[in-house]
Structure formats: C-alpha cells, structure tokens
Structure 1
Amino acid sequence: MIAIPRQKPVFRFAPSPNGPLHLGHALSAFLNRDMADASGGRFLLRIEDIDLARCTPEFEAGIYTDLEWLGIDWEKPPRRQSEHFAEYQAALSKLIDRGLAYPSFLTRGEVKARVAAFERESGPWPRDPDGSPLYPVDDRDRSEGERREMIASGIKHAWRLDMAKALSQVDTPLSWTETGDGDRGEIVAEPSAWGDVVLSRSDAPSSYHLSVVIDDALQDVTHVVRGLDLFHATAVHRLLQTLMHLPAPVYHHHRLVADSAGRKLSKSDGDTGLAELRKRGLSVADIRHLIGL
C-alpha cells in the first residue's frame, strides 16, 4: 500500500493595511505563528487590501516592520488581495450565472432612511449579528429586465448573495469545527441571520466574505485563527464554501484584547499601536505579557 503524505497544517495571519497594527493584532499573529510551530505547520501572511480607498503602502510597510520586530517570520511573498481581483470576480460571476447573486441599488443613506421610517411606525427592523440592519428586499424582487435597465443607465450597484436561494441549494445542515475560546466542537451555522450579504461593491471588487474563503482555499489554509468578533460571520463563510465546493478549515476564534474601558481595540487607538509601544521602549516580552501570552 502506498502511504499518502499528510498535509502540513497551514495557518495565516491576515491584517488589512488600513491602520497601524495594535495589541489585538499581535495576539492573533503570535497565536497563528505559535500554533503553526507547535504543529510543524506553515505560517502565511496575507495582506487583505481590497479596500483601495483606505489601504495604503505606508500601513502595509508598517505591518512588515511590526512583525519583524515581534520576531515573526512568514513565507515570502505574502498574498496581496489587490493582486487577485480577477479571481474574486470569476467566482462572483459563477454565482451570478447560477442566479444566486443580484445587483442592489439602494445607497447606505437610503437604507438608513428606510429603516428609520419603519422603526418609527412599526418597531425594530431585523438586524444581523453585528447589529447592522438587514438589507431591504426591493432589489431582490426586481425583474431581470428592470435590473438590466438600471445597470445600463449607470446607476452604481453592489452584488448581494440571495440568501434564500443560496440556502435552497444546500442539501445538508451547515456547521464548522471550532477549537477557540468561546463555544467549542461542531457549531451549527446560521447564515440566514446575516440576510443578503454583500459580495462586491462599486468601490471594492470583492467583499471580505467572498475573498477570504477563496484565499483560504487557494492557499490550502487548514486552520483559521482569528478574533471572536468574526465567530458568527463563519456561518456565511461556510455557506459560500459549500456553494463553491471549497474545503472547510478548522476554526479557532480567540479572545479579544480590550482597552481600559473594556472595548475591543481599534486601529484608531494610537496608544495600543505596536509602533507607538515600541517607541516607548517596550520589549517583545512586554507585548506578550500585555496580551496574556
């Protein structure tokens, strides 16, 4: 019998260069690198720069500087999402051809006004696990002819997943394997809680949801280690993986690093930025202590 070699575990740290790295990023980077080392696996760096308006070369350079200071090395070169828009668009086109995605034309302002008017008269509008209002059904119910006319007229639009149609093509219950700091074991995925999620916008050729599942598959990622703030979004990722016949990694959602007020750290919190802490004279050992490693 020929022995089939077992694939090495593959981990990835995937920051967005839209601000300086902070202590929360350090925790995620260390956990990914440490778990890769402990399992004899690979550690990848991915630059998630699909937001061309906010991501800058300066912030990207800062990521490399901070990781090098932390003593974290990665396989070169890193994958940069902005170099792979064609791959995301090809995947989106297949979903559109299957009737699983539709163009949406309402602006953020129009959605906000619609929700506010509804809540004044009828009570709470349905919201996703992050607290954002679900997108109205107007565009989902348009005819194909009307959609083509609106697109031809030049109206800006996004592409959204038709959640109901997508779920109708899934034969078995969705779930994922979780090993993180919250619930563990086999977690039931409930993507319907997110409504018709965005797959691409006029100013961003791919959404986080779409690009991350494609990247994980193309990079053979076996273990996704990221913050608990993305725990519920995994349901959407499992749906997209199933629709596109992509493998499902093991997920490990780790605790979040909070500020002095108990809030999740933000890139606008300069006092927790790794570059600022380095300027103050903190060592790498100090950083590991601050994040509880």
Structure 2
Amino acid sequence: MLTRNSLLTLLVFVMVLSFTSAAFAFDACVATANGFFKIKSYKLAFTHYDAYAKRCEKNLTATDPDDHYLCMKQAEKKQLEEGRELLEKTFYCYYMAGVTLEKMNKPADALNYYVKALYMTAAYKNVTFIHTITRKKTTKSLVFKINPKNLNDNYDRIYALGIDTVVLMEKIRAVAEIRRDLAKLIEGNIDPEKQGEYKARFAVCQTREYNLSVLLENLVVYEMNRGIYTRFDAFVKHINEFKPITPAVSSLLKVAEVMKQNLITIIAHSENPYSVPTLEELNAKLAGLSEIIDYIHANIN
C-alpha cells in the first residue's frame, strides 16, 4: 500500500509534467520538487531540491566513463552539452532550495544555499575519449560554464538577506588561494600530463572568484551610495589584516580600488561639510583605504 507521502509524490509528479522549467529538458526529479513547491509543501520541496542538487554536483565532478567516438569533435560537443545541462540543474536546485528555506523562515540556511548556487556557474570534468576503431585514448578536462536565468535573482536574495562582509571576503580568498596555487603549477609546467586539468580548474576558480567579487563590490558600493559605511569599514579592517600579501588578494584589491574611486566621487559631490559622515571623516576613510591599496601593490608577492 502506498504511504501518504508516496501518494502525494505521485500526484505532484502528474500535476507538473507540463510545467517543468524550459531552461533544460524535462527531468522527473526537478519536476517533482517544483510540484511540491507549487502546492506549498516546502519541507518536501527542499528535501528534493537539496538531494538532487547534491547528486548533480557529484556527477559533475566525477570522472566520466569512457566515451567511445568516431568523431572527436561530436563526442566532445555531446559531453559539453550534457555537462552544461547538469550544471544548470545544479544551480537551479540550490537556488530553489534557498527560496524554499526562506519560505520556511530559515534565512541563514537559505543564504548558504544561495552562495552554493553562485558557485555552480562553472565546473570541470575529466573525460576519457576512446576511438571506436583505433581504440586510441584521449583524456581531456572539459570546462562547463553557464549564465543561469536565475543568476540575478540569486544575487538579489543574497543582497536582501545580507551576507557578512568578512565571511564573503574569506570565501573569495579561499577560492583565490586555490587559483594562485594552480597558476604556479601551470606556470612551472608541473606534472605535464595534468596541465589540462590544472587549466580547467583554474578557469573554474576564476569564474567563482569573479562572481563572489561582484557580490562583495555591489554590497559595499550600494551602502556607500546611501551614506552607510558599515561594510566599508569591515572591508578595510579585514583586508588590512591580510598577511602575507600574495596574488590571492588580487580580486579583493580590485574591489578596494572600485571602493576608492566611488568614495572619491562621493566626496567630490558632497556639498555639506557637516553631513554624516562628515567630509573630514570621508577624507580620513579615503586616506586609510589608499594607504592599504598602496601597501598591497608594493608588497604583493
């Protein structure tokens, strides 16, 4: 006999056959999760989104079984298409898991899932291609990149929930340190047979680092333009503590330079010397940030 949840799952599956997102081909798991969301069964919707996102992410990073081919170009194209579709599903399910958690009044958990989704705009996979006739093996590291239709919505939810500035800076630094280490392996041609994988991983890190940096820059500048300097001050304090100065700080340095230019513009257009913060305070902030930027440029290794 079917349990109540089994019956509900079956009903939802039937209901949503014609309502699956057009962003990717019909998928029963996505359809079921969407169905639970539509009927406001948020706990079950989250369970399905979360489980499927993790399964898709695992499949993305797993070494692919041998792909037999007659035409390498077509075989590679097929793998890229399948990888991008899987990445789309991973992003979408993490994003929707976040939306569902918000519906369940769990903003902190939702924020974590939105950040997970932000990571899922790029991935790589090692694939071994085997020629059907000659049996020649060729291993390639393929990079999948997407521009999800919900990407701006995902950014908006993170803005609304308000991720901590220092936490975000540390996430950027963590990705940047991996990117820096990969750059050393590539520049030194370490492990020549793994160079393709290193370059693929480097490309993925670049995309993730960029997305996180865009988020940080927009959060800080948004507040600055409204006379709020909480994030600005937190950023300056934390980046001043970075020791030693390595190329891993490059993205944060770019954010700092954008902040500096924005502050220069704010000061130039400020007509009230007694505004809050005052012009004197703003100039002090500018001097402090400029000093840090100059120090990083002079000491970066």
Give TM class, smaller chain.
under 0.3
Greater RCO (CA < 8 Å, at least 6 residues apart) = 1
Q: Which has the higher strand share?
A: 1
The structure with more helix, counted as a fraction of residues: 2
TM-score (norm 1): 0.23
TM-score (norm 2): 0.22
